[in-house]
């Protein structure tokens, strides 16, 4: 078999590039990150015939090679650096048949780099509806390339595109334009200084606003040593280059393109006026979100309960067939429970990204981004940040992953760092039992105090997220951009294949990425809770039986033994050791243990207290009664009074009590630096808020 053909797939955003990638590769694809930068690196493979394999790289969408950010420069780096392992043998530039003029700017730039280039004109199925007529032969001659007329929606033209890729050696490598015409004297000197280098490649490096460390050192050194022009002069030359390219594109399209009036644009304009209206637009978006999250809660509950039950049954089954001992406990209570803690999130992640993908594919999400930008901008966020913030009310894990849609790295990082402030569903068990304990019954204008308290916690979470974003904006010195440009794509019916592949990729990414970390931490927590030093732990059954055995039935006796062991386990000792630190918040060692174990997941707080108070964690009323009856040993007053309850509510409102979220933040930021900062900052805020509340209310 011959060496695989390296192909780079590139194009403007919203040209259907991802759809073509999916059509070519199907499930034979993988997603990673480019070295040194958290931008998706999407790769796939397919065969043209049994002897010809193609490695396809889907580059991030970009409008031109005149990029202004590190994220956008990823595509440029791959195309400029011949030492890059992904450097293409051939580039496939995807363009939208309805936006040929604008899309072809990038095509001419890539062709000028000397890379064999194929033009894939997508959305051919819309040509008859939009009155577009194309003379492909004339356009191929004018652009000096080969063209595949493709409809990713209907799957047409894909085989033709594969054939063109297989015959890429027949393509012309001649430049589309003569960039030297913008300043002949300057480029003549550049050519004399570096006669063996591609002139346009050198020009692209010279005009880069910041030096990309991943480019060839030789190119960077050449650019730095030659260039003597000011930034203003270079910008003027770039402008002349753009004018030159559009003159060439206009001349090409005059020979090959005819457009009749498009009646469909009137309907699009009407929908845009409604969906981006300054009042109705927000109401429509809020209604859509309410429906989505209600459906997520309704639909994910059944599979999550099923997964939980299956892993519990699996654990019990393994206990019956494996010999009793530490290894069996590790497998059943550590590994199986840890895997279950990963898998149980899959329904929420899958359903959330199902709806996000549908909104994106339809073109509506771009309208939402445009609509929300004005509100989010003062806080250092863009309109794209609204999706992660609101989806955080379901679960912070998919919400952090949803931040991938944010282009700017600073805005994306701010969104990732503040998303955990929003009240997720895992906090609800904690909120509900504490509110029931400490918030008195009664109502205000027909709304109960307890319901108002719960609503207040949700609002507090959003306020904290926006406040933290504003502070981070100051820290990052991220200036407010006065102009926000976004393309509003045509409305389309979502392709089921694209939606399905997106859900598959995101879910698989979570399971394989964050899952390993979650499993490891779960095993550590299990070990600390299942082992302890000395006789108080090892002889717990004997001690409890002697002290309480005669007064308890078998079930209560086992609960008391479990509680005694937990109290004297390593994690119990750890809980007792932090008691001096948490006592100013109104907490004792029992709450301390619950705080530590709930780092695995916030809702574990209730289960831990259930074990300590010797009741089943499904018996909420009994837990509440036992907690309500618990007294402080020093003064005989209730442990869970109003000051302690409010302190706990505020602590869980602000604290990063979720290892799964930390794991996914680590994955999304490519290291432990930001998750550690995030954990320290949120814990500090939570501690101070809980301390102030308790000291004032007590």
**Which residues are CB-neighbours of 161 under 8 A, at least 6 positions away?**
20, 24, 92, 118, 120, 148, 150
Answer for the pair 658, 682: CB distance below 8 angstroms, yes or no.
no
Longest pairwise C-alpha distance within the chain = 102
Rounded CA gap, 76 and 60, in Å? 10
Cα gap 570→552, rounded to integer Å: 26
The encoded tokens of residue 604 equal 């574990």
* Helix/strand/coil percentages in the chain, nearest 5: 65, 10, 25
Strands 90-96 and 29-33: unpaired
- Which residue in this structure is represented by tokens 């089943």? 616
Q: Where are the alpha helices (DSSP H) in 208-345?
A: 217-226, 231-256, 264-275, 280-321, 326-329, 336-343
> CA 569, CA 330: separation in Å to the nearest integer?
16
Q: What is the pLDDT of residue 680?
A: 94
Please state the φ and ψ torsions of residue 505, each to the nearest 5 degrees: -65, -45
Question: Which SS3 state, helix, strand or coil, does residue 639 take?
Answer: coil
Handedness of CA 647, 649, 654, 659 (dihedral sign): positive
Give the pLDDT confidence score for residue 619 in this predicted structure.
44
DSSP state of 257: E
Residue from 168, 120, 214 nearest 3 by CA = 168
258: Cβ–Cβ under 8 A, 6 or more apart, which residues? Answer: 132, 133
Give the phi and the psi of residue 644 in degrees, each rounded to 5. Answer: -65, -40
DSSP state of 156: B
At 17 the pLDDT is 87
Residue listed under structure tokens 């916690």: 457
In a 3-state reduction of DSSP, which class is residue 535? helix
Q: What is the mean pLDDT of each run of 10 residues along the chain (698 residues)?
A: 87 85 77 49 86 89 74 77 88 91 92 93 82 88 93 87 92 90 86 82 75 50 60 84 92 85 64 84 80 69 81 84 82 75 74 81 79 77 74 76 73 89 78 81 73 80 89 73 60 80 77 66 75 83 74 72 79 85 89 82 72 49 67 78 92 87 86 92 94 92
Give the count of beta carbons closer than 10 Å to the beta carbon of residue 556.
13
Q: Is 598 helix (H, G, I), strand (E, B) or coil?
A: coil
Q: Which helix (H) or strand (E) holds 78?
A: helix 73-80
- Residue 39 near residue 33, CB atoms below 8 Å: yes
Q: In whole angstroms, what is the distance from residue 661 CA to residue 665 CA? A: 6
Angle, helices 589-597 vs 570-577, to 10°: value is 120
Task: Retrieve residue 42's tokens.
Answer: 């999407």
The CA distance from 421 to 464, in Å, is 6
Alpha helices in 322-408 (DSSP H): 326-329, 336-343, 346-362, 364-376, 386-391, 396-402
Can you say how many angstroms the Cα of residue 316 is from the centroid of all Cα atoms in its chain? 35
List the beta strands (DSSP E) in 97-163. 117-122, 132-134, 146-149
Beta-carbon contacts of residue 10 (< 8 Å; ≥ 6 apart): 17, 59, 62, 75, 79, 91, 92, 93, 94, 106, 110
Q: Is 48 helix (H, G, I), strand (E, B) or coil?
A: strand
Look up residue 119 and give its DSSP letter.
Answer: E
pTM greater than 0.75: no
The neighbour count for residue 570, using CB atoms within 10 Å, is: 15
Q: How far apart (Å, rounded) are the C-alpha atoms in residues 344 and 309?
A: 10
Burial category of 650 from C-beta neighbours within 10 Å (exposed 0-12, middle 13-18, buried 19 and up): buried
Nearest to 693 by CA among 656, 658, 654: 654
Domains (range + CATH), the chain: 1-261 (3.40.50.300), 521-697 (no CATH)
Both tokens of residue 674? 């930001």
């Amino acid at each position: 078999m011959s060496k695989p053909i390296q192909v780079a797939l590139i194009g403007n955003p919203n040209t259907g590039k991802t759809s073509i990638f999916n059509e070519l590769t199907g499930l034979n694809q993988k997603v990673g990150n480019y070295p040194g930068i958290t931008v998706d690196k999407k790769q796939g493979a397919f065969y043209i015939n049994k002897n010809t394999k193609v490695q396809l790289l889907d580059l991030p969408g970009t409008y031109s090679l005149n990029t202004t950010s590190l994220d956008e420069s990823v595509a440029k780096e791959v195309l400029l650096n011949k030492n890059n392992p992904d450097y293409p043998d051939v580039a496939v530039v995807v363009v939208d048949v309805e936006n040929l003029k604008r899309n072809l700017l990038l095509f001419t730039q890539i062709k000028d780099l000397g890379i064999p280039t194929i033009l894939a004109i997508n959305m051919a199925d819309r040509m008859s509806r939009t009155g577009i007529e194309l003379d492909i032969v004339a356009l191929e001659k004018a652009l000096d390339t080969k063209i595949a007329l493709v409809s990713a929606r209907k799957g047409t033209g894909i085989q033709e595109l594969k054939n063109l890729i297989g015959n890429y050696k027949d393509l012309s490598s001649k430049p589309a334009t003569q960039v030297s015409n913008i300043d002949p004297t300057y480029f003549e000197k550049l050519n004399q200084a570096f006669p063996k280098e591609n002139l346009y490649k050198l020009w692209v490096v010279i005009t880069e606003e910041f030096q990309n460390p991943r480019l060839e050192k030789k190119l960077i050194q050449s650019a730095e040593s030659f260039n003597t022009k000011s930034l203003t002069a270079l910008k003027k030359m770039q402008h002349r280059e753009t004018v030159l390219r559009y003159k060439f594109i206009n001349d090409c399209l005059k020979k090959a393109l005819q457009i009749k009036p498009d009646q469909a644009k009137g309907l699009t304009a009407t929908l845009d006026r409604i969906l981006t209206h300054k009042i109705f637009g927000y109401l429509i978006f809020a209604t859509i979100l309410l429906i989505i999250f209600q459906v997520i809660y309704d639909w994910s509950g059944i599979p999550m309960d099923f997964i939980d039950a299956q892993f519990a049954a699996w654990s019990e089954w393994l206990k019956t067939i494996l010999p009793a001992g530490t290894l069996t406990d590790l497998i059943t209570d550590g590994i199986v429970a840890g895997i279950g803690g990963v898998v149980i999130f899959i329904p929420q992640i899958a359903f959330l990204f199902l709806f996000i993908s549908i909104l994106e594919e339809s073109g509506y999400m771009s309208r939402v981004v445009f609509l929300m930008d004005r509100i989010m901008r003062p806080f250092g966020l863009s309109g794209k940040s609204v999706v992660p913030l609101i989806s955080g009310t379901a679960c912070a894990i998919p919400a952090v992953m949803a931040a991938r849609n944010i282009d700017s790295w600073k805005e994306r990082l701010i969104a990732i760092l503040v998303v955990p402030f929003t009240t997720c569903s895992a906090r609800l068990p904690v909120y509900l039992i504490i509110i029931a304990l400490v918030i008195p019954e009664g109502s205000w204008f027909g709304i109960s105090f307890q319901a108002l308290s719960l609503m207040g916690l949700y609002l507090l979470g959003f306020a904290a997220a926006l406040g933290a974003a504003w502070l981070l904006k100051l820290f990052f010195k991220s200036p407010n951009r006065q102009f926000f440009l976004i393309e509003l794509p045509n409305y389309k019916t979502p392709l089921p294949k694209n939606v399905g592949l997106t859900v598959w990729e995101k879910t698989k990414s979570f399971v394989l990425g964050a899952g390993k970390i979650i499993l490891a931490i779960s095993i550590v927590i299990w070990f600390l809770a299942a082992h302890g030093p000395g006789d108080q732990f090892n002889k717990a059954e004997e001690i409890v039986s002697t002290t309480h055995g005669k007064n308890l039935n078998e079930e209560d006796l086992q609960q008391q033994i479990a509680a005694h062991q937990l109290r004297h386990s390593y994690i119990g000792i750890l809980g007792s050791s932090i008691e001096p630190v948490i006592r100013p918040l109104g907490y004792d060692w029992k709450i301390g243990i619950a705080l530590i174990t709930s780092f695995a997941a916030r809702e574990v707080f209730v289960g831990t207290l259930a074990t300590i108070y010797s009741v089943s964690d499904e018996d909420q009323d009994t837990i509440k009664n036992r907690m309500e009856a618990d007294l402080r040993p020093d003064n005989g007053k209730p442990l869970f009074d109003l000051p302690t309850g409010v302190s706990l509510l505020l602590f869980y409102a602000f604290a990063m009590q979720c290892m799964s979220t930390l794991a996914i933040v680590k994955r999304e930021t490519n290291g432990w630096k930001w998750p550690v900062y995030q954990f320290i900052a949120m814990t500090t805020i939570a501690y101070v808020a809980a301390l102030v509340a308790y000291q004032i209310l007590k």
